[in-house]
Amino acid sequence: MGDLLGEDDALSAKDTLYRVLDLLLAHKQTLFDHLTQRWRDLFGVKFEVLLYDLTSTYFESDPPFPEEDKRRFAYSRDKRSDCVQVVIALIVTPEGFPLAYEVLPGNTTDKTTLRGFLQKIADQYGKADRIWVMDRGIPTEEVLAEMRESDPPIAYLVGTPKGRLSKLEGELASKPWQQVRDGIDVKLCPQEGELYVFAQSRDRIGKERSMRRRALRKLLKRLLQLRAMPNLKRDQLLLKLGAAKAEAGRAYRLVDIHLPGPRQPVNEETFHFKINRDKLRKARRAEGRYLLRSNLCGDSPAKLWELYMQLCHVEEAFKNLKGDLGLRPIYHQCEARIEAHIFVAFLAYCVQVTQRHRLQRHAPGLTPRAVIEKLSSIQMLDAWFPTTDGRWLIFARYTQPEKDHRLLLAQLNLELPPQRPPRITAKGEIANPA
């Protein structure tokens, strides 16, 4: 663009783009109000169930940064703890439509974010009967109590750490299993205005057991290899154990390992290991099992299970943002540009989810990615013709759509805009494009 427009014009266009993005960011709340109304009109979307989760995205840039900058080192969901990051909190519907998002400092802990979002949604969209579905680690006991005591009460369904099972095991043992769907059984345990739902998935039990068995088998094989290595030093052994631990994941905690002393050789006497049977039995009891907690005491277990399984839609939104829509990594240095980068990614996601629902209505089986790849072969071209008086006649044209393009456009009820009229430059306005 700089070769055709000139460097000053290119910089001017870039500055104009940034100014437009800054203006949109200043009216982000108004934009989401407009989008939610459009989605109601187009698809009849109801914002009664809200899925809330957080993710992080990292930067390919070097510290230090100003103290007020949001880029921070912290636990990385992208497994890039060597990079600074920001945290992104997102609220979507089960259909994938985003209701709000916020960019937070990279060292923000999940449990400190929910109270602010509850107030934000209430201020922006009013108080209504909504159900908040979240994973464990997001709500605190204080916030859950506030949600129960709110007027009207705010409904929630949240995953609960499996460690709480030890407190409920005695009471759950006497409860009967109820089948809510094929392969899914639940036990219900009412507790002072709340309902605990202990669910087990028989398919998930088999899958998790098989995964753990493979990891353990591979870990034990690696430990035997390390013990058989000749002349292996203790320091070398520790490094190799670190790599084995990273690869084995949770299975590593199920093996008790006895390490040689600082000056001892590595052999069968000094380096030995065995599976911890008690830990293995506890791990087997937790396989494929979920403990849910809700104040929707009157709802059926089947409905609660279906609501919780919808959390996969917010995970899918993060996957699309980081994959197809290029949210990560971020190379910008200025915080305003960082906010703009994330904002553009979210606008692209809004277009993507809208297009996906249009396809479900008019072209089932097609995905937004497939449509973009198909329509990307329609290209925009500029044809330049010199005139006898030193000016240029410019035709901006798109290539004619082929038969499959026309079929797809008709299926989506879309029409290409008319070809733009030609324009002619003033004398000396632009150099020869060649």
Domains of the chain: 2-135+311-362 (3.30.420), 377-424 (no CATH)
- 246 to 67, 82, 242, 252, 403: CA distances (angstroms): 33, 16, 6, 9, 52
Average pLDDT over residues 344-349: 90
pLDDT exceeds cutoff 60 at 7:
no
Residues 6+ apart with CB under 8 A from 194: 148, 293, 294, 295, 297
Beta bridge partners of 50: 132
Q: Per residue in 232-256, pLDDT tens?
A: 899 999 999 999 998 998 899 999 9
pLDDT at 323: 84
Residue that is written with structure tokens 């989506």 in the block: 412
Query: Among 197, 45, 51, 37, which residue's Cα sits nearest to residue 131?
Result: 51
Given a cut of 60, whether residue 4 has pLDDT beyond it is: no
Quick one: tokens of 410? 């008709």
pLDDT of residue 368: 87
pLDDT at residue 5, rounded to an integer: 43
Section 402-413 average pLDDT = 88
d(CA 33, CA 90): 16
Predicted confidence at residue 286, as pLDDT, reads 83
Indicate whether 165 pLDDT > 90: no
Rounded Cα–Cα distance for residues 66 and 335 (Å):
10
Give the chain's mean pLDDT. Answer: 86
Q: How many CB atoms lie within 10 A of CB 400?
A: 10
- CA neighbor of 311 nearest in space, from 290, 285, 283: 290
Q: What does the pLDDT look like over 31-79, one tens digit per residue?
A: 889 999 999 999 998 889 999 999 999 887 766 566 778 888 888 888 8
pTM of the model: 0.79
| Share of residues in the chain with pLDDT > 90 (%) | 31
**Each residue's pLDDT tens digit, 103-152:** 999 999 999 999 999 998 888 888 778 899 999 889 999 999 999 998 88
- Given this model, what pLDDT does residue 6 score? 45
Among 205-219, 220-234, 411-425, the minimum mean pLDDT is found in: 411-425
Contact by Cβ (8 Å): 29, 98:
no
Instruction: Provide the 8-state DSSP code for 400.
Output: P
Query: What is the model's pLDDT at position 162?
Result: 72
DSSP 3-state assignment of 233?
Answer: coil
> What is the pairing mode between strands 131-134 and 155-160?
parallel
Residue 29 has pLDDT above 90, yes or no: no
Amino acid 123: pLDDT:
86
Higher pLDDT residue, 203 or 21?
Answer: 203
**pLDDT tens by residue, 285-302:** 888 888 899 999 888 888
Q: What would the two tokens of residue 37 be?
A: 């109304």
pLDDT for res 66: 66
Biggest CA pair distance of the chain: 95
